[in-house]
Amino acid sequence: MQDIGAIHRKEYDLEADGVGKDGEADRIVIARAPGRLHLLGEHCLSPGLFLSAAIDRWAQVAISPRKDGSLRFYAPNLSERKRTTMASLKYKREDRWANYAKVAIHLFSELGVSLKGLNFTVIGDIPQSVGLASSTAIEIATAMALREMLGFEFDDRALAVALASTHRLYFEQEPCLADYLAGLCWGDEEFLVIDEANLSITGIKSPLAGYRLVLTDSRVPRLGTEAEIETRKLDIAAAVQKLSHRREGASLREFVAEDLMDSMGNLPEKIRRRSLYAVQDIQRVHDAGELLRRADLPSFAKLIFHSHEGLRDLYEISCPEIDWMVKRAQETPGVCGARMAGEGFGGCTYALVKGDAVDEYRNRLDDYERIFGFHPLIHEVGLASGNRILSGPSSCE
């Protein structure tokens, strides 16, 4: 990735040693946050239970103070510059990526922190529009850099909750709390079992040494899918309402497949199928954590493939292109599970592929464009490791 410190100094006319041309010290803080992948659990109602991973693709944010009251934003990857002030800090459609940095600024302002002028530089290499939470990573990296610069005591879980709440108010849309927990609380080369109900994050050291996460963007257009996705959420909510007369205040996480079978007469078939998938995937998160701890890779792979079959047959948000990709992965020796990622109806698949099998996996996708007419984009990533603060008083580097 580009040297964001050098880019920031050049953009804002700071000397290489951090001293501005007026002779005063200009403190630069650089923080980074990873993209994230939810391997299981992302289609269950909140509070959710997820098997997730922070990946080694990043959003980096550099900040430094200004003497005036201006907020300046620079994205060298896009050659774009945005600007505002604390008094005018609000969502603007034309500010696009800068709005995510503004979420973090708004959070600290609401906490009563006195903020004046600041310079921001934002870069990243997280693949876009494939469900890897690239925008959330900008919010997190900005918040971590501000926390470091201000010396503000704010533990990671509390910061995750506060950012999600501020995002909800700022954009008037419901965020996924697990995205923030994964982006803030990851450990080196770990899978994460994330429980939104109690904010617990259990790290499981990856037993997949020598494997790569291969993300394949199907390039299938996803226009007009929001209504279908919302319908499925409403179906699950209806199932909870039907079942909850037996357990006051219950959520779907408190039921098992037998509960749905017992209630078949009270549940329309469509709602039962959707809910059955959600209940099964919640159990798969528990099972996957144990299989990873035992390094039982064949059983783990089977579980991941079963989850995709449920997305296809029960939750019904897959599509022929995605199913074809998962089938090719299943036929490739050295693949430890593959599944659709993201909200559905196109988007991306992930496959856990042994290093020496990646070329074979790619070869098996050669016919995809000829059959479906879309050219897939393939990204190889690993699990995240390393420092969060790259430059600042408490930097490890």
Active site annotation includes 179 = yes
CB 364 within 8 A of CB 331: yes
* 233 vs 228: CA distance, rounded Å: 9
Q: For residue 204, give the 3-state DSSP assignment.
A: strand
DSSP annotation of 25: B
Residue 34, Cβ density class (10 Å: 0-12 exposed, 13-18 middle, ≥19 buried): buried
Ramachandran bin of 36, using left for φ above 0, alpha for ψ from -120 to 50, beta for the remaining angles:
beta
Q: For residue 289, give the 3-state DSSP assignment.
A: helix
Q: Hey, which residues does 72 pair with through a beta bridge?
A: 83, 119
Structure tokens given for 395: 């930097």
Q: Kindly calculate the radius of gyration of the chain based on its CA atoms and give it in whole angstroms.
A: 22
Choose the catalytic residue: 179, 217, 235, 281.
Answer: 179
Residue 364, Cβ density class (10 Å: 0-12 exposed, 13-18 middle, ≥19 buried): middle
* 31 vs 237: CA distance, rounded Å: 39
| Catalytically annotated residues | 179
